[in-house]
Amino acid sequence: MAGEGKKVPRAAEMRGYTRGFVARVTERNRLPLDFSVRSLRVVDSVLDGMRRDGRGRDEVAAALFGFGAYVGEVLVRHAGAVWIDLDDAQRQYFGQAVGVRMPDGRVWSPLGKVVNRYEAGAEESLQTFYLTLPGRHPERAGRGGRPAARSEPARSL
């Protein structure tokens, strides 16, 4: 998931993993990935470009994981989500090891959402996903979109 032969990060490691991914991607491609909600349009555009290139999902798995981590971190910073390690039933359902829990208790898989976006195209827009996501805290002035880093173990739904 995180790339060929690489360990999949746990919830507590996702913030650091995401920062590293963004540093590598922005250095090479000058993408404006600033963890803003608006930047999700950039991710949508990048995924559209990857789709046009016609590469299979396995060929772009590491990039999809990285962009999924990025989307998750946008949810953490702007919607009040926390990274969680998914339990066995959630792993089976989402096909991922980590996800996010929203303030209302709902669990989402931003990693899986990015895979869906890659496979299905624009109808799975990441920006629209964020804007229509139930259970998020509304943006608050003065927070800067950077709540304290938190992670917790997943609880069964």
User: Which domain range does residue 42 map to?
Assistant: 11-79+110-125
38: in domain:
yes
Q: Is residue 140 situated within a structural domain? A: no
Residue the block writes with tokens 């991710």: 43
On whether residue 58 sits in a domain, the answer given is yes
Residue 99 inside a domain? The answer is no
Number of domains, the chain: 1
Residue 142 has pLDDT above 80, yes or no: no
Report the relative pairing of strands 151-153 and 82-85 from DSSP bridges.
parallel
Q: How far apart are CA 38 and CA 32, in angstroms?
A: 10
Is the pLDDT reported for residue 148 higher than 50? Answer: no
Cα distance between residue 83 and residue 148, in whole Å: 12
Comparing 8-12, 124-128, 131-135, which segment has the lowest mean pLDDT? 131-135
45 is a domain residue: yes
61: in domain: yes
List C-alpha distances in Å: 9 to 16, 50, 85, 124: 9, 24, 9, 25
Q: Residues 17-46: pLDDT tens digits?
A: 999 999 999 998 889 999 999 999 999 999
In a domain, 48, yes or no: yes
pTM of the model: 0.83
In a domain, 52, yes or no: yes
